[in-house]
Amino acid sequence: MSVLNFTADSRVACFSVYADVDPGAMSRVMQLFAKESLTPTRWTSTVEADRLVIDIQMAGLSAERADYFADVMRRMPVVEAVLTSAKSRLASDDGRAA
Protein backbone atom coordinates (compact mmCIF):
# COMPACT_ATOMS: atom_id res chain seq x y z
CA MET A 1 0.00 0.00 0.00
CA SER A 2 1.42 3.36 -0.97
CA VAL A 3 0.90 6.60 0.90
CA LEU A 4 0.51 9.77 -1.13
CA ASN A 5 2.24 12.82 0.27
CA PHE A 6 1.41 16.14 -1.35
CA THR A 7 2.62 19.61 -0.55
CA ALA A 8 -0.22 21.98 0.32
CA ASP A 9 0.28 23.86 -2.96
CA SER A 10 -0.02 20.77 -5.16
CA ARG A 11 -2.78 19.02 -3.16
CA VAL A 12 -6.38 18.98 -4.34
CA ALA A 13 -8.85 17.93 -1.66
CA CYS A 14 -11.88 16.08 -3.02
CA PHE A 15 -15.22 15.70 -1.26
CA SER A 16 -18.26 13.65 -2.27
CA VAL A 17 -21.20 14.81 -0.20
CA TYR A 18 -24.40 12.75 -0.06
CA ALA A 19 -27.31 14.80 1.20
CA ASP A 20 -31.07 14.97 1.37
CA VAL A 21 -32.72 16.48 -1.69
CA ASP A 22 -33.31 19.74 0.11
CA PRO A 23 -33.30 23.25 -1.41
CA GLY A 24 -30.92 24.49 1.29
CA ALA A 25 -28.40 21.64 1.20
CA MET A 26 -26.08 23.15 -1.41
CA SER A 27 -26.09 26.59 0.19
CA ARG A 28 -25.28 25.11 3.61
CA VAL A 29 -22.31 23.23 2.20
CA MET A 30 -21.10 26.24 0.16
CA GLN A 31 -21.47 28.50 3.20
CA LEU A 32 -18.89 26.41 5.04
CA PHE A 33 -16.27 27.33 2.43
CA ALA A 34 -17.50 30.90 2.00
CA LYS A 35 -17.09 31.61 5.72
CA GLU A 36 -13.39 30.85 5.23
CA SER A 37 -13.22 33.04 2.06
CA LEU A 38 -12.60 29.93 -0.07
CA THR A 39 -14.04 29.22 -3.50
CA PRO A 40 -14.07 25.57 -4.61
CA THR A 41 -11.93 24.83 -7.66
CA ARG A 42 -14.69 22.56 -8.98
CA TRP A 43 -18.29 21.97 -7.88
CA THR A 44 -20.81 19.64 -9.46
CA SER A 45 -24.11 18.44 -8.14
CA THR A 46 -26.66 15.90 -9.30
CA VAL A 47 -29.78 14.28 -7.94
CA GLU A 48 -29.49 10.49 -7.99
CA ALA A 49 -32.57 8.55 -6.89
CA ASP A 50 -33.64 10.20 -3.66
CA ARG A 51 -30.43 11.98 -2.70
CA LEU A 52 -28.32 14.93 -3.73
CA VAL A 53 -24.68 14.22 -4.62
CA ILE A 54 -22.27 17.15 -4.46
CA ASP A 55 -18.69 16.66 -5.69
CA ILE A 56 -16.27 19.38 -4.61
CA GLN A 57 -12.58 19.90 -5.37
CA MET A 58 -10.49 22.45 -3.50
CA ALA A 59 -6.93 23.12 -4.65
CA GLY A 60 -4.31 24.02 -2.06
CA LEU A 61 -6.26 22.74 0.95
CA SER A 62 -4.11 20.90 3.51
CA ALA A 63 -5.09 17.45 4.75
CA GLU A 64 -5.88 18.87 8.19
CA ARG A 65 -8.19 21.56 6.78
CA ALA A 66 -9.88 19.01 4.49
CA ASP A 67 -10.53 16.78 7.51
CA TYR A 68 -12.00 19.76 9.37
CA PHE A 69 -14.37 20.63 6.50
CA ALA A 70 -15.44 16.98 6.13
CA ASP A 71 -16.17 16.73 9.87
CA VAL A 72 -18.29 19.88 9.82
CA MET A 73 -20.25 18.69 6.77
CA ARG A 74 -20.88 15.31 8.41
CA ARG A 75 -22.56 17.09 11.33
CA MET A 76 -25.01 18.95 9.06
CA PRO A 77 -28.55 17.57 9.49
CA VAL A 78 -29.15 17.33 5.71
CA VAL A 79 -25.90 15.43 5.03
CA GLU A 80 -25.98 11.63 5.00
CA ALA A 81 -22.28 10.97 4.30
CA VAL A 82 -19.06 12.66 3.20
CA LEU A 83 -16.31 10.78 1.37
CA THR A 84 -12.88 12.35 1.02
CA SER A 85 -9.83 11.82 -1.14
CA ALA A 86 -6.91 13.83 -2.48
CA LYS A 87 -5.01 14.13 -5.68
CA SER A 88 -2.00 16.03 -6.90
CA ARG A 89 -2.58 19.08 -9.01
CA LEU A 90 -0.68 18.81 -12.25
CA ALA A 91 -0.36 21.99 -14.23
CA SER A 92 -2.30 21.76 -17.46
CA ASP A 93 -2.58 24.25 -20.29
CA ASP A 94 -5.74 25.81 -18.82
CA GLY A 95 -4.37 25.98 -15.26
CA ARG A 96 -6.90 23.56 -13.77
CA ALA A 97 -6.03 20.48 -11.78
CA ALA A 98 -5.51 17.40 -13.89
pTM: 0.80
pLDDT digit string, tens, across residues 5-41: 545 567 999 999 999 999 899 999 999 999 999 999 9
**Per-residue pLDDT, 89:** 72
Per-residue pLDDT of 53-70, as tens digits, reads 999 999 999 999 999 999
CATH code of the domain made up of 11-87 = 3.30.70.260
Task: Give CA–CA dist 7/31, Å, rounded.
Answer: 26
Give long-range contacts, CB 8 A cutoff, 24+ apart: 28-36.
28/76, 28/78, 29/54, 29/56, 29/73, 29/76, 29/79, 32/69, 32/72, 32/73, 33/58, 33/69
